[in-house]
Amino acid sequence: MKKILVTGVTGVIGKRTVEHLLEKGVPASQIVGLSRNKEKSAELLAKGIEVRLGDYSDYNSLLEAFEGVDKVMLTSATAFSDRNTQHFNAITAARQAGVRHVVYMSIIRKEGSERIMPEITESDLFTEQVLKSSGLDYTILYHPPFTDILSIYYDSDPYRNGIKVPANNGKMAPATRNDLAEAHAVILSTPGHEKKTYILSGSESLSFSDIAKIITEVTEKNISFTSISAEEYVDKLINKGVPRHVAEFLKSWVVAIDEGEFEGQSNDLERLINRKPITFREYTNSILAQHAVSSK
């Protein structure tokens, strides 16, 4: 019996991909999770999911983990790591182990753009080329910024501090990690996605100033928006204890968002999950509702 293997199952996207596979009727016996730590996978193990130990940097562990697997969801490695080597190991081990199809999550790039997102773009381009030349069936999924963690770019407490970023009215089309994970599950559980690419943008375009307005309207608390310089933004993060290289990394995302790198919209995500993706307003409302329930 051929299996579907999802890497990074201790992370939000990997775990939710597995859960969506179950919700779509894929038997637990056909799903495998890959993790470097089984103890963090207790919830999936309790659902009957087999979790195999494996590390992108350990080629032999990948060969063993991919045994009997038909499809692999290759969750991209984290920034500030050797993504080229890790992704090359995963794709090469998949081919050697007899895997048929690899699905890779990349970052959206505006058509014709020459922007290089630090820690991301070059390794995405490398991974996509390795995948296309591997002889394996592949699907490449282009991810936008994540709706549910947009606050990492401004402030976890915008109610007190407002939104202060080096941006004006540039827009993006974000999507929640849950919606993206559902799209992953659809592609992994249905045929016809080989040699295809999908742009998984959200259903709305919004700027950081739009975010401030939406939070204000939903919470009925005034959230100010201030455009600051890139240097001031980096200094502000460093003063909060963020390492400089991480602050510079976050700055590059905000600037890219403001300059329209992620503003393009596609209906690929909506078609795959067969509904409108969750908007930022809907997500914010859901978080407030959760807080209201938990505070009772």
- CATH number, domain containing residue 18: 3.40.50.720
DSSP reduced 3-state for 249: helix
Q: At what angle are helices 177-189 and 12-23 packed, to 10 degrees?
A: 50
Tokens representing 106? 């990349």
51 bridge partner residues? 33
Mean local confidence (pLDDT), 14-34: 98
Q: What is the pLDDT of residues 255-274, one digit of tens each?
A: 999 999 999 999 999 999 99
Q: What is the pLDDT of residues 142-197, one digit of tens each?
A: 999 999 999 999 987 888 889 999 999 999 999 999 999 999 999 999 999 999 99
- Whether residue 252 contacts residue 230, with contact meaning beta carbons closer than 8 Å, is answered with no
Question: Cβ contacts of residue 85 below 8 Å, gap of 6+?
Answer: 56, 57
CA distance 247 to 251: 6
CA distance 130 to 262: 24
* For residue 86, pLDDT beyond 90: yes
Give the Cβ contact number of residue 11 at 10 Å: 15
Q: Is residue 134 part of a domain?
A: yes
Q: Is residue 109 part of a domain?
A: yes
Q: What is the pLDDT of residues 199-243, one digit of tens each?
A: 999 999 999 999 999 999 999 999 999 999 999 999 999 999 999
Question: Residue 61: its pLDDT value, please?
Answer: 98
**pLDDT cut 70: percent of the chain above it:** 98
Confidence class of residue 276 from pLDDT cuts 50, 70 and 90? very high
Question: Residue 294: its pLDDT value, please?
Answer: 60
Q: Is residue 58 part of a domain?
A: yes
CA distance 90 to 55: 9
Cα-based distances in Å from 186 to 37, 227, 273: 26, 39, 7
Give the Cβ contact number of residue 110 at 10 Å: 14
pTM check: above 0.85: yes
H-run or E-run covering 142? strand 137-143
Q: Is residue 281 part of a domain?
A: no
Question: Residue 292: its pLDDT value, please?
Answer: 58
Q: Is residue 129 part of a domain?
A: yes
At 83, phi and psi to the nearest 5?
-60, -35
Q: Is residue 30 part of a domain?
A: yes
Tokens representing 136? 């394996």
Question: Residue 286: its pLDDT value, please?
Answer: 92
In which domain, by residue range, is 24 found? 3-143
Confidence class of residue 40 from pLDDT cuts 50, 70 and 90? confident
Q: Is residue 264 part of a domain?
A: no
Question: Residue 293: its pLDDT value, please?
Answer: 57
The shares of helix, strand and coil residues in the chain, as percent rounded to the nearest 5, are 45, 15, 35
* For residue 81, pLDDT beyond 70: yes
Question: Residue 164: its pLDDT value, please?
Answer: 96
Q: Is residue 112 part of a domain?
A: yes
Number of domains comprising the chain: 1
Question: Residue 24: its pLDDT value, please?
Answer: 97
Question: Residue 296: its pLDDT value, please?
Answer: 53
* For residue 287, pLDDT beyond 90: no
- Whether residue 13 contacts residue 181, with contact meaning beta carbons closer than 8 Å, is answered with yes
Look at residues 166, 169, 167 and name the one whose alpha carbon lies nearest to residue 230: 166
Tokens representing 204? 């709305």
Q: What is the pLDDT of residues 167-179, one digit of tens each?
A: 999 999 999 999 9
